[in-house]
Amino acid sequence: MIRSSFDAIVIGGGLVGAAIAYGLQRQGLATLLLDEGDIAFRASRGNFGLVWVQSKGLGAPHYQRWTRGSAEEWPKLAAELQQRTGIGTGLQQPGGVHICLDEEEFAQRDAYMAQLRREAGNLGLEYRMIRGAEARDMLPGLGPGVAGVSWTPYDGHASPLYLLRALHTGFTGAGGTYRPDARVDGAACAPHDFRIDAAGQSFRSPRVVLAAGLGNADLAPQFGLHAPVRPQRGQILVTERARNLMLMPTTTIRQTEEGSLMLGDSKEEVGFDLGQTPEAMKMIANRAVRAFPWVADLNIVRAWSALRVMAPDGLPIYDQSLRYPGAFTANCHSGVTLAGIHANRLAPMIAAGQLEPDMAPFSAERFDVRSAA
Ligand SMILES: Cc1cc2nc3c(=O)[nH]c(=O)nc-3n(C[C@H](O)[C@H](O)[C@H](O)COP(=O)(O)OP(=O)(O)OC[C@H]3O[C@@H](n4cnc5c(N)ncnc54)[C@H](O)[C@@H]3O)c2cc1C
């Protein structure tokens, strides 16, 4: 048995919950992190590892700002985790590119990036559309058929598994309590007073954060919240280690610190089906080989699928319950990218008991909550 009363309880020990729990504990709040365990869907253990800015926030400047803010927080978080835990997250932010395989893709991307810059307003957005020899100098081995790339200086990548481990180690190292194999199966709610039942024990706290990924959809209504997230499958291929050829990550191909290439990723609406399909794997491999023909010589050594945590409009959802103040929810499909801002900005807001006014566009009130209920 562990103690039963905490300053904050975070439900879900994936990247979102672990970043928030780490941030809360670092603020001095005695925090309990509850996680269902290996049988749950866990996007944090199956993702691509990009810390990515250039494809985020079209039509949603608040999301563009939030993502850019997180990319800026990342080096601080990575350095702090390294110093506190000795675990490197493998963060590299050399800039990144989106590869356009043909002229149509290039024209679409050009329009997309121009729109993103218009919407960035005062924040500004540095980007370039690059073709020919210049693109080939940036990315040695780029295929002859590639029409060009979009580039921004903000993008990067990291090891999502080392990040998760560092957040957990940093959390418990700062005095946080982690309880695995603890599916939350009951709760009693009153404003700033929550009883959470998990693993045969009850825990009390004035604050609770729902960060259970796809599990949030079922948990949220019990707390007067709404988290209409659905699964979206992504498949990933991993090659054997290669000579270091990739100077920067791209949206669908990146070279890990250890030298493997990760090739991603599909976007499939198949419910909770975690299967893999030859069609998606072929599509991923074909695009990778068109982008970098030398990839064809590498063996594929691993492949998997995982489920994204996707809101109806693809944007994050952050809310505090109106009915039960003290209950918060956090949902997103970019938990690697947003780890910096979850730990360094969102957690302090939760600790202070209020989401700042500029967070209002992320509320689930943007959906038709009543009809969904
Ligand atoms: C193929 C793919 C590629 C991706 N690529 C990237 C990328 O390049 N960059 C990026 O930023 N993001 C990427 N993502 C998204 C990223 O992985 C997710 O945004 C992130 O992992 C979500 O983290 P989470 O903690 O919300 O959810 P999860 O990792 O799913 O964790 C939720 C946790 O909650 C627990 N849980 C569930 N229900 C309960 C309950 N009732 N009680 C207690 N615990 C519970 C589970 O045990 C689980 O550990 C990708 C995702 C996929 C699938």
Question: What is the Å distance from ligand 1's center to 94 Cα?
Answer: 25
User: For residue 234, which atom of ligand 1 is closest to its CA?
Assistant: 1
- For the stretch 112-145, pLDDT in tens is 999 999 999 999 999 999 998 999 999 999 999 9
* CATH 3.40.50.300 corresponds to the domain 230-310: no
Which of 163, 208, 210, 309 gets mutated to test ligand 1 (max ligand atoms within 8 A of its CB)? 309
Q: What is the pLDDT of residue 373?
A: 43
Direct distance between the N- and C-terminal alpha carbons of the chain, in angstroms, rounded to an integer: 37
| CATH-assigned architecture of domain 8-50+161-229+313-372 | 3-Layer(bba) Sandwich (3.50)
Domain ranges across the chain: 8-50+161-229+313-372, 96-153, 230-310
Question: What is the Å distance from ligand 1's center to 212 Cα?
Answer: 8
Q: Please, what is the average pLDDT of the chain?
A: 95
- For the stretch 264-279, pLDDT in tens is 989 999 999 999 999 9
Around Cβ 300, how many Cβ atoms within 10 Å? 15
Q: What is the pLDDT of residue 370?
A: 52
Question: What is the Å distance from ligand 1's center to 138 Cα?
Answer: 32
Edge-to-edge strand ranges of the sheet holding 193-198: 184-190, 193-198, 201-205
Give all strands (DSSP E) within 136-207, no chain letters.
148-152, 156-157, 177-179, 184-190, 193-198, 201-205
- For the stretch 47-77, pLDDT in tens is 999 999 999 999 999 999 999 999 999 999 9
Q: What is the pLDDT of residue 369?
A: 62
What is the three-class DSSP state of 112? helix
Under a CB-based contact definition with an 8 Å cutoff, are residues 164 and 127 in contact?
no
Query: CB under 6 Å to ligand 1: residues?
Result: 11-17, 34-37, 40-44, 46-50, 52, 183-184, 211-213, 215, 219, 234, 236, 265, 306-309, 332-337
Cα 350 from Cα 208, distance rounded (Å)? 9
| pLDDT at residue 372 is higher than 50 | no
| pLDDT at residue 244 is higher than 80 | no
- For the stretch 304-356, pLDDT in tens is 999 999 999 999 999 999 999 999 999 999 999 999 999 999 999 999 999 99
